[in-house]
């Protein structure tokens, strides 16, 4: 845990409160505790994906890079831009809280986040915190929290341009400008498109209707950041991200969707004294979708989320930190579908205490949420860390969390049930990690029990609190960089079981029993070559375990040539062995693909 005295005079990074400058391999994170701490000092299981990691992967989407983190399982309905769901630690896709620069994003009707809309070119860093964090963030953080930071200003004035072409008519253009630190402005634009392929396999019972055509995707995005040190004791940060996409797919009611994601936020950080930091943050996120069938309008859904928070961090002695705050959130729905209720407010009050004493560390948090739809709810967690040797730490964690019913769960016409209770969970986690000068490795064993799962009830023909589930798992992560070599690995082993209902004893769908992501690269002066492999074990696509999704292995090859200090040429072969696989039944994934890009980056 970083000392409060390091905070003064430090500019905003990621528009969140950070601490002293980071040197060497040390990385500052903020998501696990809502306060700044070094990744090697946190008590939480955290994976940090940096901009350097993203560039080395030559990834095309946020999903591509999230797959490299332990505990992350992703499903996709047919390639770039298609509907993407993230299952963190075997929990449901709505059991993860997603933030962009501290602002909660996602659909209030569906309860999920459209990862396919987030522009990867605008991303600087991603923090994946595994395990429940409702005690700090409120509803939905059963599986964990993912925070995405947009790219900040730089120490020098920077201009960057890149272009990429590939298989299936893939094209991408990125451009960015960063002013010098005295001005503190960053502006970045990106456009990405693909002609796509026929995603639906045409198998019986799949895709609702099979239309033998290409399912294309176009997405344009803009991100603007402004960071300014107002005085020695005041900092201001503003950010704006906008993403607009047009996606084709196969469907009976609709086969084209125009989607929009917009995130606006601001943060004022004040240091009234050397031992007190106060942060006021405001935010707004928009999730909008308009559906069409053969270019004829069919439906519209728009959710708007406004948020306000006030957080205070107070140093207690040389090793203690007390955090207390209040969060307010208002969700509204605007749609041509008539919901009986279209707005709800939530107020949450939280307190957290962290302390390091020699080789011991402790962290506990407690939160009370008051929601006008489902009432009040209290969650908490406690973690104990013990250093068992030099740069080695064992952690023991227990935490509770809940998921709020969505507007669709509660009020969708002829479907929703207004008497639904929140889903509840409790998690036990035992972790061990080793930090080394050239990397770190971690292992976590966990068990999560989920009660009052909201699922389809055939008797009422709608959602009900009828199911219970248990997820047990082991996660292992390795990240190393030594001389000219760089490698990382993430292994997840899951046992996700339905504990009640007609499918008691069967597996939860789309949770492979094992998942492995491996990436290795080597530099040769101005050249670099690498290989990445992704293995997923077999799983099922349905609760009754009748539709099998077979195991698969996907291999990617990458190459890079730094032509000059400013120019570089990159190449990538995706799915090099043309593996035929599905992550969601009846939806093809891309076959072998070839991509080449050229980049220009100038610092003054």
263 has a pLDDT exceeding 90: yes
Q: Is the dihedral of CA 135, 453, 415, 85 positive or negative?
A: positive
CB-based contact 235:163 (threshold 8 Å): no
Model confidence at 20, pLDDT cuts 50, 70, 90, reads very low
Instruction: Give the residue carrying structure tokens 């040769």.
Output: 524
Model confidence at 41, pLDDT cuts 50, 70, 90, reads confident
Six-digit token pair at 377?
Answer: 């709810």
- pLDDT value for 493: 97
Q: How many residues does the chain have?
A: 604
Using CB atoms within 10 Å of the CB of residue 279, give its burial: 0 to 12 exposed, 13 to 18 middle, 19+ buried.
buried
Calculate mean pLDDT across residues 148-157: 77
Calculate mean pLDDT across residues 285-306: 96
CATH architecture of the domain 4-603 equals: Beta Barrel (2.40)
Six-digit token pair at 240?
Answer: 């704006």
Domain boundaries, the chain: 4-603
Calculate mean pLDDT across residues 131-149: 96
What gap in Å lies between CA 447 and CA 131, rounded to an integer?
10
CB atoms under 10 Å from CB of 67, counted, come to 21
Calculate mean pLDDT across residues 464-470: 88
Strand pairing partners for 515? 492, 536
Q: Considering the entire predicted model, what is its pTM?
A: 0.93
- pLDDT value for 183: 67
Question: 3-class SS at 24?
Answer: coil
- pLDDT tens-digit profile of 85-103? 999 999 999 999 999 999 9
Six-digit token pair at 575?
Answer: 């799915």
What gap in Å lies between CA 337 and CA 251, rounded to an integer?
19
Six-digit token pair at 162?
Answer: 């890149």
- pLDDT value for 182: 65
Q: What is the mean pLDDT of the chain?
A: 91
- pLDDT tens-digit profile of 524-580? 999 999 999 999 999 999 889 999 999 999 999 999 999 999 999 999 999 999 999
């Amino acid at each position: 845990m970083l000392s409060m005295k390091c905070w003064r005079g430090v500019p905003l990074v990621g528009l969140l409160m950070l601490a002293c400058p980071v040197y060497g391999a040390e990385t500052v994170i903020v998501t696990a505790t809502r306060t700044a701490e070094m990744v090697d000092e946190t008590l939480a299981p955290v994976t940090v994906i940096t901009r350097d990691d993203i560039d080395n992967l030559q990834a095309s989407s946020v999903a591509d890079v999230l797959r490299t983190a332990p505990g992350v399982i992703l499903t996709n309905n047919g390639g770039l831009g298609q509907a993407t769901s993230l299952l963190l630690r075997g929990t449901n896709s709505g059991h993860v809280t997603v933030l962009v620069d501290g602002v909660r994003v996602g659909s209030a009707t569906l309860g999920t986040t459209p990862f396919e809309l987030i522009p990867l070119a605008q991303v600087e860093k991603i923090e994946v915190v595994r395990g429940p964090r409702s005690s700090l963030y409120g509803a939905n953080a059963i599986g964990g929290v993912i925070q995405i930071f947009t790219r900040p200003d730089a120490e020098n004035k920077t201009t960057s341009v890149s272009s990429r072409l590939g298989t299936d008519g893939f094209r991408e253009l990125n451009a960015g400008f960063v002013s010098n630190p005295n001005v503190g402005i960053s502006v970045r634009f990106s456009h990405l498109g693909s002609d796509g392929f026929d995603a639906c396999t045409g198998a019986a019972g799949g895709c609702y209707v099979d239309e033998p055509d290409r399912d294309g995707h176009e997405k344009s995005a803009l991100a603007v950041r402004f960071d300014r040190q107002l005085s020695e004791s005041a900092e201001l940060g503003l950010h704006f991200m906008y993403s607009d996409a047009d996606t084709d797919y196969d469907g009976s009611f609709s086969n084209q969707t125009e989607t929009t994601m917009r995130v606006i936020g601001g943060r004022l950080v004040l240091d009234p004294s050397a031992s007190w930091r106060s942060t006021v943050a405001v935010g707004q996120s928009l999730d909008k979708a308009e559906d069409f069938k053969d270019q004829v309008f069919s439906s519209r859904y728009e959710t708007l989320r406004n948020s306000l928070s006030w957080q205070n961090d107070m140093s207690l002695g040389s090793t203690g930190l007390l955090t207390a705050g209040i969060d307010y959130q208002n969700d509204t729905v605007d749609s041509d579908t008539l919901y009986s209720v279209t707005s709800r407010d939530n107020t949450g009050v939280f307190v957290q205490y962290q302390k390091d004493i020699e080789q011991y560390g402790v962290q506990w948090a407690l939160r009370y949420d008051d929601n006008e739809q489902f009432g009040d709810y209290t969650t908490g967690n406690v973690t104990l860390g013990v250093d068992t040797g030099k740069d080695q730490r064992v952690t023991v964690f227990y935490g509770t969390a809940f998921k709020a019913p969505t507007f669709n769960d509660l009020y969708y016409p002829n479907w929703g049930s207004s008497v639904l209770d929140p889903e509840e969970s409790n998690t036990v986690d035992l972790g061990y990690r080793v930090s080394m000068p050239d990397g770190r490795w971690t292992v976590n064993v966990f068990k999560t029990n989920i009660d009052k799962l909201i699922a389809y009830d055939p008797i009422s023909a709608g959602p009900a609190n009828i199911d219970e589930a248990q997820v047990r798992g082991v996660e292992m992560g390795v990240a190393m960089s030594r001389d000219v070599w760089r490698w990382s690995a993430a292994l997840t082993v899951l046992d996700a079981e339905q504990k009640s209902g007609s499918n008691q004893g069967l597996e939860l769908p789309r949770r492979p029993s094992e998942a492995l992501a491996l990436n290795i690269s080597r530099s040769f002066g101005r050249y670099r070559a690498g290989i990445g492999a992704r293995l997923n074990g077999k799983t099922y696509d349905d609760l009754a375990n009748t539709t099998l999704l077979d195991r698969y292995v996907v291999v990617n090859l990458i190459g890079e040539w730094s032509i000059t200090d400013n120019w570089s040429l990159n190449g990538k072969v995706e799915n090099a062995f043309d593996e035929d696989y599905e992550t969601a039944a009846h939806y093809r994934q891309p076959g072998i693909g070839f991509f080449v890009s050229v980049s220009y980056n100038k610092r003054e």
